[in-house]
Amino acid sequence: MAELLNIGEVARRSGVASSALRFYDERDLITSERAGSGHRRYPRSVLRRIAFIVFAQRVGLTLDEIGAELAKLPPDRVPTRRDWSRLSTKWTARIDDRIHELERLKLGLTECIGCGCLSLNRCRLSNPGDHAASLGPGPRYWIGDRPAKRPT
């Protein structure tokens, strides 16, 4: 029989609050067994699922998306490296998009982002008269639009 961990042990090892573990359990993102006392007991393999949930949320996946992906793992055994690899390759493009978004954020903090505030001196050069507003709402240059080329 596999070693079972109580909720406190899982919380300590995963860094996730017990209340979140109960929530994940209720949403069928993780599973537990119930001891005779009614306390939850988790297989050690649940720690990988929890790590996946935490980092998938950081990438921007919703709990519904995470649940749909976890449902693709085999229900009758602990997932293998190959199972996890199959799951993760589907998210490579999404992770790459998030990396690019974060890079734009990092580079754009001191530049005009096309939000319309015109509060930085550079905004008047990059976004004269709030031209970016014609491209749509939000910080247009962070989203990926480029400032219009000015005639030379």
Q: Quick count: other Cβ atoms within 10 Å of Cβ 16?
A: 19
Q: Set out the domains of the chain in order of their start, with CATH numbers.
A: 4-91 (1.10.1660.10), 110-143 (no CATH)
Strand order in the sheet with 40-43: 4-6, 40-43, 33-34
In tens, the pLDDT along 30-41 reads: 998 887 787 899
Read off the pTM: 0.67
In tens, the pLDDT along 96-140 reads: 888 888 887 887 778 888 888 888 888 888 888 898 999 999 888
58 vs 41: CA distance, rounded Å = 26
